[in-house]
Amino acid sequence: MKIDNSDIFNMDHAARDASNDTEYPEAFIATILRDKPEHKHLDVLTELLTRSSEIDERVASSISAAWHWICQNDLWSTRYESLSEYRKTIGYTETVRPIVQRHKKSELAKRSSMQTIFRYWKVPYDKALPISTRPLTWRKHLLSLIACLSKHRGHLESVLLLQESMKNRPERGRTRNRLMASDVQRALETLGIPQTRLATRESKESRISSHAAQSKGTDSGTEVGSTPSTIHPEPLSLPDTPLSLGVSLTQGLQTSKEPD
């Protein structure tokens, strides 16, 4: 069962407000469940998890973009003697670096999924769906699900499966005409692909891709994730369409100037 649009809207706000209630997390959860019937609690909390993950991804990409911008333009030099001094002042190692590294891993996972989609469907990920149903933003989880589908069914058959899955949404979710991760999950379920198996495969492929990129970056003396060619040396003619704030800002800013 899917929660309705008003609940989805509220989940966006709830996910953003969650950080303000970390001192009393149980009270926060109790508050968002207060007016919901018990049989909808799982749906509400599942939606919160999904929305929080999306918000976390957007925040991480913004923080990563900010750090790249500071390094690219030497903004630290206007107030500090060295970049090292600035890093110590902001607690870079403890606060910023983990977020930047997590964002890099997320981008590696996205690119791995894009490669997979192109390899099996022979079409770029952002051209694979009808314009009217293409997501406005391509999240890591959505891309990984589409990549999994591409391994099991051809392009045209997959498009039909996804269109049918969108028609089978709970009634109140049918007003949204953009593809969502839940649509792909339903399509995968009709093919009998367990989600645990998918998660294991996704995790393994992400680790392999991350390890390969790190080895490449170490050998060349270039920071991991600095350019698409560093991450994926195999030419696949992937499109330059930005994925999100993180990609559109950081891809053009990442250079060897940025310290690890």
Asked whether the CA dihedral 172, 176, 181, 185 is positive or negative, the reply is positive
Please state, as a whole number, how many other Cβ atoms lie within 10 Å of the Cβ of residue 148.
25
Give the chain's mean pLDDT.
Answer: 74
Single out the residue of 28, 143, 85, 9 nearest to residue 259, CA to CA.
Answer: 85
Is the separation of the CB atoms in 6 and 172 below 8 Å?
A: no
First-last CA distance in the chain: 45
Name residues whose C-beta falls within 8 Å of residue 209's C-beta, 6 or more positions apart in sequence: 108, 109, 111, 112, 231
Indicate the pTM of the whole model. 0.58
> Which burial class, exposed, middle or buried, applies to 22 when counting CB atoms under 10 A from its CB (0-12, 13-18, 19+)?
exposed
Domain ranges (residues) in the chain: 5-250
Place of tokens 């003619």: 237
Please state, as a whole number, how many other Cβ atoms lie within 10 Å of the Cβ of residue 235.
7
What's the pLDDT tens digit per position in 183-235? 998 899 889 986 645 545 555 555 555 555 444 443 433 333 333 333 333 33
Single out the residue of 124, 179, 118, 180 nearest to residue 151, CA to CA.
Answer: 118
What's the pLDDT tens digit per position in 32-90? 888 888 888 887 887 777 677 777 888 898 999 999 999 999 999 999 999 999 999 99
In the predicted structure, residue 121 carries a pLDDT above the cut 50:
yes
Percent of the chain residues topping a pLDDT of 90 = 40
